[in-house]
Structure 1
Amino acid sequence: MSRDSNEVSDRNPSPPSEEFANGNGELLRGDSIGDTVFSKHWVFTSLMTLLKAVENEDEGKTDGEKEAANLSGIEIDSDLENDLCKLWDMTANEDVSLFLQEWKSPDMLLSVIAKTNAPRVTEICMGILGNMVCTGSISKSLSENDNLVTLTLSMLSGRDPPTLVETCRFLNTALSHPGSANRWLTFIKEDEEVFQNLAFILQSSTNIDLLHNTVDLIDLILDSSDEITEKWSSPSLIDGLVEAFKQARSERKSTLSVILHTIQLISVTSLGIDCLVKMNETIMPILAQYISDICEEEVIAIKDQKRALASSIIVVNSLLRDEDKVSKILFIDSTSKKLLKNLLKLFQVAQRDYKRELSQNSGAILDNDVDGNSNNASKENETNPVAVITGDCESSHNASEGTAVDSTTQLLLSSLTSFARLLLDLSVQNEDVQEALQDKFEEGKDITCLELLRELLDST
């Protein structure tokens, strides 16, 4: 399923200009779509040309040639492709999308998708629909079209990476609209092949754009439905996320953040945590590697990675709550012991960032309160701000935006605090934990991991 990601990202040319003006440069206002310079006539002509080309795809072909085209796909005329790309680019304009919706163009595009054997045509049609669905009213209307919903979900079984990229982008956008999300989720719950197809993409694709859009889609689905999260929390999904992590690690850091958050969502279900514990030898290495990649830098910079780090640590905490597996999960070898020391390093950095943000921002919040513009932010901080991070991670995640410390800093420190407390509790009853905590935190220094752990907790 591989294809150079640049081929996907650079495919749309700029919108045309000469088609929409006469020889003197005056706009053809009567033919313009809304307040744009785009021509209604040009759009209709392009769509009719597309329909005719698709209808004639099998013209003059033998049965064997038709079967071959159905299996391997066909190329399309370059002029038609250029015009379709222009139309695709134009639909980024809301007036153009609304115009196409008014003239029932989505039904026509669905007909083309269902009939064509040209992967490029299918990709462009999905790209156009993906732009149209960005408009809320269009998204709601499309979600009520059963044929569109069913066909779109079935396209996840395809094997053309660019088309899958656009299909996942379409679904991501549709599920992001409150007015259409529930209907899509209903269909997804009832269609078991959606999960199977998404898991297959994660396990087999090397296309980073496709992996990113697929992980984004899965994360959004799980975040939107507890029922689906429970149902999809399985070894096949976890295996797929691990494979996607390995693929994305050297290519796109933002994808790693989404993967780690998806694993975190899986860890909150009973079935999910059971799977993660059973697969700890698969999961722990990627968590440890992600944390190690950050901690091994000469200067540990976590500004843009706090949420992903928090997701990693929340998963570690969930795994450690299974006391029978603790030794196998965290203290099985030197790599795992290194993870313990890296987490303590992060605790130090997160605590430093928290205190710095608190010092820098508290004064600004108080100043705003004097001016009457605080939106009650300072009142929310009359209680001890540290109290925000000593509860569970979810309460920290939902902390008010009016607090003096960024919510991602709170979330990270909260997850690390939970880890430290859990580790201390485990040390009372687990000899492996006790032994690991007696290791020196750093060579040449007298402080042990246990002493540093207690010191950090005391100062939180």
Structure 2
Amino acid sequence: MSREVITDCNGGQDLDKRLVDVLSIAEPEDHHRSEPMITAATDNDHRVDNDEDREEGVEAGEGDNIGDTVFSKHWLFQCLINTVNIINGEKSADTNGGADGSAVGDDNERLSSSSAVVTAFGPQEPIELDDRTDEELSILWDMSTNEDVMAFLNDYKAIDLFETILMRTNSPRFAEISAGILANIAVNRDICVNLANRPLFRQLILESLSSSDTPFVIQVVRIVSASLSNGETQDRWLAAIKERGDQFLTTIHHTLENCLNCDLLRSEILLLNKMLYLDDTMAAVWLAFDRRYECVKTLLSATDQLLADDPENVEFVDYLWLIIHTLSLAGEDFTETQLVANRPELLRLFHRYVCDSFGDSVDYVIASGHRAGALSAAISLLFNWVMDWGTGAPQPSALIY
């Protein structure tokens, strides 16, 4: 699946300048160079070291802690430098040299060939991160859930760095980790606003939904979901989605119809529900795109895959009913073109939904307003197609029971 070329509106040299800025900031004069080291990878005090001979770990020095955490500023600076060197093709484990940014060259040609995060990750063969680099970046990914670390990364322009990685890298794993870090820190208000104020970034993320690398796309969907959850940024993201409506919906349809990864299916169903909840005019955009009347069929295909994988995924059928109900309010001929055409499948799903979700008790309905709303939406849809019941169609009771 191809996509349009994405280039920085100010040219590739601005991206290089961002990397130089990161390098210059990450070189505090009172810190000497040493091997990367960290005292904890997650908030549960799980100790992680980079070399076998440091199994007991080393506590961060006085003044080296990030906020109130046990995470080391020095280690994080070193990790950012290592990351910049990876982008620029410096794969040596020793990063003592080149830290002044001299290795950051003109990468206009690489940028002009579009981001490497789509399909085959660029024209070259995808590259793999070495084990040590993967471990370091995975630790940073875990760390990025901490609020103090989020603020620290924001202060030291790490957002520019990870955005540049998504535009340049030819490594699926590198792209996945970078997107995952951005998704983690996007829950921070200031960072979320920062990201939303970048038209190029919004375009890059929406284009990246068409990547064939599923782990990467899962993280991209998390970025969009986090951005839609912020009241200050959701309008800009919704506008960007509408602007690229056909391409966005083509990608969503393809994923829902063909994807076997239930994590991605769940993420995209939640994203669609959130999008329609925030702006029900998106339903009209979807129906205008869906000229072959396949949106309900597509949603049912994803639901079948989820239920086949794990019966407990019936909870995601809640969102199916809510999505279909919102769509039904936007289309005058929705009942005829969508509900009647998929009537047997919808009725069977409704039967399973009621039996698996509620059984013989209404206790859960009372306890869960969300599920009660989903049931109400399902019953409303059922009422609509019963009222429009066509001649010669099988009776609902025969299909349900």
TM-score under structure 1 normalisation? Answer: 0.62
Question: What is the correspondence of 1:211-222 to structure 2 with a 5 Å cutoff?
Answer: 211-222=265-276
Question: What is the correspondence of 1:219-234 to structure 2 with a 5 Å cutoff?
Answer: 219-233=273-287, 234=290
Corresponding position: 1:255 with 2:331: no
Picking from 83, 93, 107, the partner of 2:136 is 83
The alignment covers a number of residue pairs equal to 316
> How far off its partner does 1:26 sit?
5.1
SS at match of 2:69: coil
Percent same amino acid at aligned positions? 26
Question: Who wins on radius of gyration, i.e. which is larger?
Answer: 1
Question: What is the correspondence of 1:421-440 to structure 2 with a 5 Å cutoff?
Answer: none
Output the CA distance in 2 between the equivalents of 1:265 and 1:47.
45
2:390 maps to what in 1?
327
Q: Considering fraction of residues, name the structure with more helix.
A: 1
1:293 maps to what in 2?
352
2:299 maps to what in 1?
241
Corresponding position: 1:277 with 2:329: no
Output the CA distance in 2 between the equivalents of 1:254 and 1:68.
34
2:83 maps to what in 1?
50
Look up the equivalent residue of 1:240 and give its one-letter code.
Answer: T
CA contact (8 A) 2:48 2:57 kept: no
Output the CA distance in 2 between the equivalents of 1:109 and 1:52.
13
SS at match of 1:249: helix
CA contact (8 A) 1:29 1:37 kept: no
Picking from 85, 108, 113, the partner of 2:161 is 108
Corresponding position: 1:203 with 2:257: yes
CA contact (8 A) 2:47 2:57 kept: no
Output the CA distance in 2 between the equivalents of 1:208 and 1:293.
19
CA contact (8 A) 1:206 1:247 kept: yes
CA spacing shift, 1:26–1:115, aligned 2, 3 Å: closer
Residues 354-395 of structure 1: per-residue CA shift (max 9 Å, x gap): xxxxxxxxxxxxxxxxxxxxxxxxxxxxxxxxxxxxxxxxxx
CA contact (8 A) 1:287 1:312 kept: no
Output the CA distance in 1 between the equivalents of 2:156 and 2:121.
31
CA spacing shift, 1:125–1:338, aligned 2, 3 Å: same
Look up the equivalent residue of 1:70 and give its one-letter code.
Answer: G
- State which drifts further: 93-102 or 220-229: 220-229
Residues 233-257 of structure 1: per-residue CA shift (max 9 Å, x gap): 2324323212111111232222222
Output the CA distance in 1 between the equivalents of 2:157 and 2:298.
38
Residues 102-129 of structure 1: per-residue CA shift (max 9 Å, x gap): 1111111011111111111111111100
Picking from 211, 222, 226, the partner of 1:173 is 226
Output the CA distance in 1 between the equivalents of 2:248 and 2:221.
11
2:325 maps to what in 1?
264
Output the CA distance in 1 between the equivalents of 2:399 and 2:294.
26
Corresponding position: 1:70 with 2:130: no
Unaligned runs of 5+ in 1: 2-12, 60-65, 343-460
Output the CA distance in 2 between the equivalents of 1:83 and 1:285.
51
CA contact (8 A) 1:205 1:211 kept: yes
Question: What is the correspondence of 1:371-382 to structure 2 with a 5 Å cutoff?
Answer: none
Corresponding position: 1:28 with 2:72: no
> How far off its partner does 1:14 sit?
4.3
Output the CA distance in 2 between the equivalents of 1:82 and 1:240.
38
Question: What is the correspondence of 1:116-131 to structure 2 with a 5 Å cutoff?
Answer: 116-131=169-184
> How far off its partner does 1:56 sit?
1.3
Look up the equivalent residue of 1:181 and give its one-letter code.
Answer: Q
Unaligned runs of 5+ in 2: 2-40, 93-115
CA spacing shift, 1:196–1:295, aligned 2, 3 Å: closer
CA contact (8 A) 1:219 1:261 kept: yes
Corresponding position: 1:96 with 2:154: no
Residues 1-57 of structure 1: per-residue CA shift (max 9 Å, x gap): 9xxxxxxxxxxx746646699989654231111111111111121122122123218
Output the CA distance in 1 between the equivalents of 2:175 and 2:346.
38
1:357 maps to what in 2?
none
> How far off its partner does 1:301 sit?
4.0
> How far off its partner does 1:267 sit?
0.8
Look up the equivalent residue of 1:91 and give its one-letter code.
Answer: S
CA spacing shift, 1:314–1:34, aligned 2, 3 Å: same
CA spacing shift, 1:95–1:319, aligned 2, 3 Å: same
CA contact (8 A) 2:317 2:353 kept: no
CA spacing shift, 1:198–1:29, aligned 2, 3 Å: farther
Residues 47-69 of structure 1: per-residue CA shift (max 9 Å, x gap): 2212212321899xxxxxx9987
CA spacing shift, 1:142–1:333, aligned 2, 3 Å: same
SS at match of 2:212: coil
2:33 maps to what in 1?
none
1:315 maps to what in 2?
381
Bigger relative contact order, structure 1 or 2 (CA pairs below 8 A, ≥6 apart): 2
TM-score under structure 2 normalisation? Answer: 0.71
Question: What is the correspondence of 1:363-402 to structure 2 with a 5 Å cutoff?
Answer: none
RMSD: 3.1
Residues 285-342 of structure 1: per-residue CA shift (max 9 Å, x gap): 3331233225557952452643332221122233345x4xx135xx7225x22467x7
Residues 67-95 of structure 1: per-residue CA shift (max 9 Å, x gap): 98735522211111111111011011011
